[in-house]
Amino acid sequence: MIESLHAVPDAIIECDVLIIGAGAAGITLASLLDDGHRDVVLAEGGGMAVDATAQSLFKSVQQRGTPFAAQEGRYRVFGGTTVAWTGRCAELDPIDFAERAWIPGSGWPITHAELAAFYPQAMRLCGFADGWEGVPTAADNDIPAELERFVWRFWHDGGGRYQNFGERFAADFRRSLRLRVLLDANLTRIEPAADRTDAHLRTADGARRTVRARQIVLCCGGIENARLLLNLAEDSPNLLAGVAPVIGRYFMQHPRAATARFALDRSQSKRLQRMFNRFRRAKGLEYEAGLSLSAATQARHGLANASAVFRYARRGWGLDSLIDVAAHPGDGLISGLRRLRGREPLLGPVTASLVVDLEQAPDFDSRITLARRRDSLGLRHAAIDWRVGAIEQRTSRFLTAAVHYWLRAGGLARPLALPGLESSGALEAGGMFESYHHLGATRMATSPRNGVVDTDLRIHGTQGLYVCGGSVMPTGGHVNPTLTIVALAARLAKHLGQS
Ligand SMILES: Cc1cc2nc3c(=O)[nH]c(=O)nc-3n(C[C@H](O)[C@H](O)[C@H](O)COP(=O)(O)OP(=O)(O)OC[C@H]3O[C@@H](n4cnc5c(N)ncnc54)[C@H](O)[C@@H]3O)c2cc1C
């Protein structure tokens, strides 16, 4: 059943599991726990469509440190941020889980294998209907030893879109007998009540209801999970006393920047685009091939994990381009047809930008705290101090240099600009692209001194309070996080189903 909180009678709603937030994490959990064995409530702050009132709750964020668009890239609606994501999926690498001496604070308290067991389920939940494999392999013998070919997958529904979790699961949830979805239902307070916990929900116009649950899971996104917990800790100091000092700490993203630009003539363009491109199809499995730093290179040079892709653009309308266009009048049509068949488009002379995605080293001082001002629900706004550190800059420089030397030595391209070789590795405030990947601020750790949740994603020192999402990731590798978020939710569903 899906209904607005406005339509719910004013009496305590009892359930076994209450999930707060209907994004990729919350919807995954709800769908897996809805197996007829328990009563589940999924409370979502937004409605079925994006609207300005709900979105306004994300607008006021105070910022220090490296600026980024914290008011953008979050959606308060059934489906969460998957209403706008671009569907790029990849698994974390085994090295991302390892404690690395050169990255203080690295190391997950669960192994790669423990999470990898849930990736196949996560792939299906992210829409990969026909499986994950089936992308052609390219000859890698050209690539320098420091680098590896890395592939991201996308599942494209044919409507120009990637899976919106809300659209995919709404019909199932409407039919469900033991799963109740409450829309316009914002969590504002939590209060322990004997062996259960009361969650206070309210609508934007002030209607209030209480849900009493055995277990509560926050799935509100990478920034909101921390902001909510900070507000809850202030409201009920005893509830989260054990973890209060670490809530909001170690906030990370994936710093992303264009670190080099190269000019490619017709034959260089063909060669590079065959190896590294976004191979699109009209519908179904797409993939993007790029480069990543090998684990051995990271260890040898003390670097973070990182990857890079080339983004191609037809060269401007200079004399050489005009001559090329005149000499190849059918190019546009041929490129379009090749793209439709999932082949690399051959555009003639192009400019290739190298775009890097970097893992961040966890930094205690990169953090989310609370601003003084309150939103319309009475919760204090987030204040975010995001820090980009020296290891990320060094990694960006190393990766840019490795690609640059390889392209130059192989006669594959002519460099036009190399900002990634400068001291900041092109990771300057205002110069980075938004990744909208909010990670780490309620991280997983075996001890409450180092993290907010334990290996079962239960908040240390609480009975039935859990968190799921990018915020529980102790480090984030270089890949887009949603596949891993869904795998974490599937793992949590198994745990909750057994407890
Ligand atoms: C433009 C764009 C492109 C992206 N592309 C990719 C990509 O290609 N690949 C990838 O892996 N990731 C991508 N991402 C990131 C991806 O969308 C997120 O990682 C993912 O959606 C996070 O899922 P989540 O469930 O943790 O959080 P969200 O999807 O943000 O869901 C959180 C939910 O909680 C609700 N909520 C918040 N506070 C409350 C409250 N107090 N009470 C009740 N409900 C609440 C929100 O309304 C929301 O529905 C992209 C993001 C953007 C913006």
309 three-class SS: strand
For a mutational test of ligand 1's pocket, the pick from 200, 438, 482, 486, i.e. the residue with the most ligand atoms closer than 8 A to its C-beta, is 482
- Give me the torsion for CA of 479, 485, 487, 488, rounded to 10°: 130
Ligand 1 atom having least distance to the Cα of 54 = 47
Cα 318 to ligand 1 centroid, rounded to whole Å: 42
For a mutational test of ligand 1's pocket, the pick from 85, 86, 368, 379, i.e. the residue with the most ligand atoms closer than 8 A to its C-beta, is 85
Residues framing ligand 1 (Cβ under 6 A)? 20-26, 43-46, 73-74, 76-77, 80-82, 84-88, 186-187, 219-221, 224, 228, 436-437, 469-470, 480-482, 485
- Measured CA angle at 394 (ends 390, 398), to 5 deg: 170
Helix (H) or strand (E) holding 273: helix 266-275
- Measured CA angle at 491 (ends 87, 366), to 5 deg: 65
Cα 24 to ligand 1 centroid, rounded to whole Å: 7
For a mutational test of ligand 1's pocket, the pick from 72, 78, 81, 434, i.e. the residue with the most ligand atoms closer than 8 A to its C-beta, is 81
Cα 155 to ligand 1 centroid, rounded to whole Å: 18
Cα 25 to ligand 1 centroid, rounded to whole Å: 8
Which amino acid residue places its CA nearest to atom 19 of ligand 1? 482
Tokens of 187: 């969590």
Cα 439 to ligand 1 centroid, rounded to whole Å: 11
Which amino acid residue places its CA nearest to atom 9 of ligand 1? 88
- For residues 237 and 253, what is the distance between their CA atoms, to the nearest angstrom? 29
Cα 165 to ligand 1 centroid, rounded to whole Å: 10
Model confidence over 385-434: pLDDT tens digits?
Answer: 999 999 999 999 999 999 999 999 999 999 999 999 999 999 998 889 99
Cα 191 to ligand 1 centroid, rounded to whole Å: 26
Domains of the chain: 2-498 (3.50.50.60)
Model confidence over 146-170: pLDDT tens digits?
Answer: 999 999 999 887 776 889 999 999 9
Written as one string, the DSSP assignment of 201-269 is EE-TTS-EEEEEEEEEEE-S-TTHHHHHHHHHHHH-TTTTTTTGGGTTTT-B---EEEEEEEEE-HHHH
Cα 303 to ligand 1 centroid, rounded to whole Å: 29
* 210 contacts: CB under 8 Å, gap ≥ 6: 12, 13, 198, 199, 200, 201
- For residues 403 and 86, what is the distance between their CA atoms, to the nearest angstrom? 26
248: left (phi > 0), else alpha (psi -120 to 50), else beta?
left
Cα 56 to ligand 1 centroid, rounded to whole Å: 16
C-alpha closest to that of 457 among 231, 243, 142: 243
Ligand 1 atom having least distance to the Cα of 479 = 11
Which amino acid residue places its CA nearest to atom 21 of ligand 1? 81
For a mutational test of ligand 1's pocket, the pick from 220, 253, 377, i.e. the residue with the most ligand atoms closer than 8 A to its C-beta, is 220
Cα 174 to ligand 1 centroid, rounded to whole Å: 22
Cα 228 to ligand 1 centroid, rounded to whole Å: 15
Sign of the dihedral defined by the CA atoms of residues 231, 40, 452, 225, in that order: negative
Which amino acid residue places its CA nearest to atom 35 of ligand 1? 21
Low-confidence ranges of the chain (pLDDT < 50): none
Burial string for 366-377 (b: 16+ CB within 10 Å, else e) reads bbbbbbeeebeb
C-alpha closest to that of 489 among 23, 169, 175: 23
Cα 221 to ligand 1 centroid, rounded to whole Å: 5
- For residues 2 and 39, what is the distance between their CA atoms, to the nearest angstrom? 14
Ligand 1 atom having least distance to the Cα of 88 = 8
Task: Give me the residue label for tokens 């090749």.
Answer: 338
Ligand 1 atom having least distance to the Cα of 57 = 38
Which amino acid residue places its CA nearest to atom 3 of ligand 1? 85
